[in-house]
Amino acid sequence: MTDKMVDVILHLDENTTRGDRENIRDSLLDLDGVYGATCHDERPHLIIVEYNPDIINSSELLIVTQDRGLHAELVSL
């Protein structure tokens, strides 16, 4: 049996630095059920997250940004 995996884009409303985005990425990767998180300087408002919805709820991904005082939305792929 294979794990279920879903991709979602986390759209950050605010301007962030590379360091901010890398910290968010690292925090997402620390969550149980998150398999991958990627951010690129060319698209500074976007972070792509791969996760298992049987382990973690998508709203928990948003909490990582809210804990930093940022606003974000989830965009399904």
Residue 38 lies in a domain: yes
The rounded distance, in Å, linking the Cα atoms of 73 and 24 is 14
CATH of the domain at 39: 3.30.70.100
Share of the chain above pLDDT 90, in %: 92
- Confidence at residue 15, expressed as pLDDT on a 0 to 100 scale: 95
Residue 58 lies in a domain: yes
User: Which residues are within 8 A (CB) of 68 and not within 5 positions of it... i.e. 6 or more apart?
Assistant: 20, 23, 24
Rounded average pLDDT over 44-63: 95
**What pTM does this model have?**
0.90
The 10s digit of each residue's pLDDT in 6-18 is: 999 999 999 999 9
Residue 48 lies in domain: 6-76
- How many domains in the chain? 1
Residue 65 lies in a domain: yes
Higher pLDDT, 1 or 3: 3
